[in-house]
Structure 1
Amino acid sequence: MSRQPLRLAILDATRLLEEAGVPSPRTDAELLAAHVVGVERTRLGLVPLVDPEVVDTYRALVGRRAQRIPLQHITGVASMGAIDLAVGPGVFVPRPETELLLAWALAVLEHTPTRPPVVLDLCTGSGALALAIAHARPDAVVHAVELEPKALAWARRNADTQAGRGDTPITLYHGDVTDRTVLTDLEGGVDLVVSNPPYIPEGAVLDPEVAEHDPGSALFGGPDGLSVIAPMISNIARWLRIGGALAIEHDDSNGGQVAALLRERRVFGEVAEHPDLAGKPRFVVARRVATETESARRQ
C-alpha cells in the first residue's frame, strides 16, 4: 500500500475527538500524531506522508483518547517546566496551571539569600514541582513528601530518571503533610515551600479524564476542599525559616479561604492571591515574617 498523508489523518482524528467531547481536539490530535511519528508537534509539517501501519497505530491511540483516557496516560508523559515526567494510573497528571506557581517559585529563589536554598514540595505526586525546581536550580536542596504509595513510586521513577540525566537528586519522603511529626529535622530551615495538594471540594463535577483516571486522594479535599490545606499550614509555619516563602495551589472556589487561613496565622505576611491564565484564582503565596513568640506579642 502507498504512503498516506498525515495531515488527512490528523483532520479525521480532530473530528472524532471533537465528537467525543474532548476539550482541545485539534491540539490533542496533533500531539498524538507527534508522539507516533516521533517529532515535536511544531515539526509535523515536515512529515507529509507516513506508512499505513503508522496511520493504524495513530488511529488506535486516537480511539483511546476519544474514550476520554487522558492524553498523558496514552503518551506516558506530562511536562512541568523544562522537564518531562512519566505518568500513568495511580498518580495525578500535572496541569499547565501549575506552571505559573513554578515560575513564581523560581523567581523567589532568585532572591533567596541562603545558598544552597532549601525547598520543600508537599503532596508531590509525580514529583513535578520538586523535580522541575531541582532541574532549574541545581544548587537547591529539594525535599518532597507524598502519602500515596502508588504516586510515590511514580515520583521515585521520575527522580531516578532525572538523576540519571545529571540533575541534582531530590529527597523523597513517604508521609502525611498534615502530620505534626513529619520532617521535624527541617523545622525552621526551609526557604521555600510549594504545594499542589488535594483541593477540590467533594461533589464537584469533573471531566471524565479527571474523575475516572486521576486518583481521588489527589483530587478531593473534603466538603470545602480545605481538609488537607488547613492543617498543612501549621506544619508549613514550623518548616519555614523567617523570611521563607510559600505557595499553595487551590480550587478556584476557595482561594479567599486559603488566603484567610494564612492571614489568621500572624507568623505569615505578604499574603497574596494569584490568578491563572484564565483569570481564575489559582494559588496563594505568603512569607513567614515572625516567630510564634513574636506573633503572640502582637496579639
Structure 2
Amino acid sequence: MTQRRAVLAAAVDRLRAAGVASPEHDAAELLAHVLGTTRSRLPLVDEVPAAALATYDDLVARRAAREPLQHLTGTAYFRHVELAVGPGVFVPRPETELLAGWAIERASALERPVVVDLCTGSGAVAKAIADEVPTAVVHAVELDEPAHAWAARNLAGTGVELRLGDMATAFEELAGSVDVLTCNPPYIPLEAWESVAPEARDHDPHLALFSGADGLDAIRVLEQRAALLLRVGGVVGFEHADVQGESAPAVFAATGRWADVRDHADLAGRARFTTARLAR
C-alpha cells in the first residue's frame, strides 16, 4: 500500500517532465480510472493497493510517452454525452463543444429539424445534437472505416442514421432539405506536421488531421456539399484552425452563395469555427 498523495505527486512530476499539458488533471484521472472511482472522490482514498499501483505506473508511463489520456481510459466526454474512443478515431476536443452548441441552438428553434454531420469521427457532434434536440432527424457520415466503427458504437440507440462514405458525395437524396449542417473537417496544412502535438500527430488518424498544402482542401469540398444539401436559409457550421480565422470564412464568402458568413472564437479567444447561411 502506498499513500495516494505520494503516488499522485510522483505521477504529476513525471508527466510534467514529459511535457504533458495538464499533468495534475491527467494524473488524477488515470488514478481514478484505475481505482474505479471519480476524480472528485479521490480525496476519500488514503492508500493505493500494490496491484493498482502497478497498473497505474504503466498508464502513467504511456501518458508520459504522449499516448492520449482518452485512449488510456477508453472514454471521452462531450457536452452531456459519453463517448467510447481509442486507436483509430479522432479524440473529440472541448473546443468543438462550441460548434455543437451553436448547432443545437439553431436546431432547437425548428419543429423537426433535419441535421447532417459530415466527417463525424467518433460521432460526438451528432450524438450531442440527438441528445439535446430529441425532435431532430440526424444523419452522419464518416469516410474512415476504423473511425466509422467507433461512431457506430457511440451512436447505437440514438436514432442517428450513420453511413460509411465520403462527405463529397453523401446524402444525395437530402439535397435541398437540410436545415443545419455541421462538420469538423481535417484542416491542418501538410507543412505544419512538426507543429502538431504528439497526442494528435502520432495517435489521431491522419485522415482527420491534414488537408492539403493550405489546410483548406476539405473546407472547399464542404462548401460545395453544404450548398447542395441545405435548403435556402439553412445554416452550416464548421471548425478550423486558429490561424484560419480569415481564410476559412473566405472560402464561403468568395462563392457569393452565402450570407451571414462569420467567424467565432473559442473560450480562449482564438478563432475556432465559421458559420454561414445559404442565400441562394
TM-score tier (shorter): over 0.9
Deviation for aligned residue 1:77: 1.0
Match of 1:169 in 2: 159
User: Taking every aligned residue pair, what percent have the same amino acid on both sides?
Assistant: 48
Deviation for aligned residue 1:278: 1.8
The answer to whether the aligner puts 1:233 opposite 2:223 as a matched pair is yes
Q: What is the root-mean-square deviation in Å for CA atoms of aligned residues?
A: 1.3
SS of corresponding position for 2:275:
strand
| Residue identity matched to 2:140 | A
| Residue identity matched to 2:277 | R
Match of 1:297 in 2: none
1:6 and 1:83 map into 2 onto residues whose CA distance is: 30
Residues 1-299 of structure 1 mapped to structure 2, 5 A cutoff:
3-112=1-110, 115-160=111-156, 163=157, 168-179=158-169, 182-204=170-192, 205-289=195-279, 291=280
Asked if 1 retains the 8 angstrom alpha-carbon contact of 2:219 and 2:251, the reply is no
| Residue identity matched to 2:126 | A
1:48-96 residue CA offsets vs partner (Å, 9 max, x unmatched): 2232212221111111111111111111111211111111111111111
Deviation for aligned residue 1:4: 2.6
Deviation for aligned residue 1:124: 0.4
SS of corresponding position for 1:23:
coil
Deviation for aligned residue 1:111: 2.0
1:42 and 1:29 map into 2 onto residues whose CA distance is: 13
Asked if 1 retains the 8 angstrom alpha-carbon contact of 2:108 and 2:133, the reply is no
Deviation for aligned residue 1:178: 2.1
2:218 and 2:86 map into 1 onto residues whose CA distance is: 23
| Residue identity matched to 2:62 | R
1:258-279 residue CA offsets vs partner (Å, 9 max, x unmatched): 2112112333111110111221
When normalised by structure 1's length, the TM-score is 0.90
SS of corresponding position for 1:29:
helix
Stretches of structure 2 that go unaligned for 5 or more consecutive residues are none
Deviation for aligned residue 1:110: 2.5
Asked if 1 retains the 8 angstrom alpha-carbon contact of 2:231 and 2:278, the reply is yes
1:174 and 1:20 map into 2 onto residues whose CA distance is: 37
1:37 and 1:123 map into 2 onto residues whose CA distance is: 35
2:181 and 2:219 map into 1 onto residues whose CA distance is: 13
SS of corresponding position for 1:265:
coil
Match of 1:295 in 2: none
Asked if 1 retains the 8 angstrom alpha-carbon contact of 2:265 and 2:271, the reply is yes
| Residue identity matched to 2:166 | D
Asked if 2 retains the 8 angstrom alpha-carbon contact of 1:224 and 1:254, the reply is no
Q: Name the stretch that deviates more: 48-57 or 89-98.
A: 48-57
| Residue identity matched to 2:248 | V
SS of corresponding position for 2:233:
strand
Residues paired across the two proteins, number: 278
2:57 and 2:123 map into 1 onto residues whose CA distance is: 31
| Residue identity matched to 1:36 | V
1:187-232 residue CA offsets vs partner (Å, 9 max, x unmatched): 1111110110000111211111111111111100111111111022
2:159 and 2:9 map into 1 onto residues whose CA distance is: 43
When normalised by structure 2's length, the TM-score is 0.95
Asked if 1 retains the 8 angstrom alpha-carbon contact of 2:185 and 2:218, the reply is yes
